[in-house]
Structure 1
Amino acid sequence: MTARITGQDRKFVARYLDAEQAMLFWQMNLPDQRHALNVAYTALELTAGDCTIDQKLLMKCALLHDVGKVKGDVSTVDKIITVILDKFAPCWARQWGRVGRGGKVANLRHAIYIYYNHAARGAAMLREIGVPELMAEIVSRHHAAPTSGEPAELQILRTADSLN
Structure 2
Amino acid sequence: RSRPLTPTEQEQVSGWLRAGEESLFWRQQALDQRHALNCAVLIADHLPGRTDLIRAALLHDIGKRHSHLGIGGRVAASSLALLRLPVPSRWRRYLDHGPLGAADLAGLEAEPIVVAFAAGHHGGVPSGVDPSDWSLLREADGE
Range class of TM-score, shorter chain: 0.7 to 0.9
Code of the residue aligned with 2:2 in structure 1: it is T
Count of paired positions: 142
Code of the residue aligned with 1:81 in structure 2: it is A
Q: CA deviation at 1:32?
A: 0.5
Aligned residue number for residue 110 of structure 1: 90
Aligned residue number for residue 52 of structure 2: 57
Distance across 1 between alignment mates of 2:137 and 2:16: 16
| Conservation of the 8 A alpha-carbon contact between 1:123 and 1:139 | yes
User: Where does structure 2 lack aligned partners over 5 or more consecutive residues?
Assistant: none
Aligned residue number for residue 41 of structure 2: 41
TM-score by length of 1: 0.74
Structure with max Cα Rg: 1
Aligned residue number for residue 102 of structure 1: none
Identity %: 27
Q: Deviations over 1:18-61 (max 9, x none)?
A: 1110000001111011110011112223x258xxxx61001100
Indicate how the Cα distance of structure 1 residues 35 and 150 shifts in structure 2: closer, same or farther if over 3 A, else same.
same
Distance across 1 between alignment mates of 2:64 and 2:122: 14
Residue 138 (structure 2) pairs with residue 158 (structure 1):
yes
Q: Which segment drifts farther, 114-123 or 16-25?
A: 114-123
Aligned residue number for residue 62 of structure 2: 67
Q: CA deviation at 1:14?
A: 1.0
Residue 71 (structure 2) pairs with residue 76 (structure 1):
yes
Q: CA deviation at 1:142?
A: 1.1
Aligned residue number for residue 100 of structure 1: none
Code of the residue aligned with 1:69 in structure 2: it is K
SS of 1:9's equivalent?
helix
Indicate how the Cα distance of structure 1 residues 147 and 124 shifts in structure 2: closer, same or farther if over 3 A, else same.
closer
User: Where does structure 1 lack aligned partners over 5 or more consecutive residues?
Assistant: 98-105
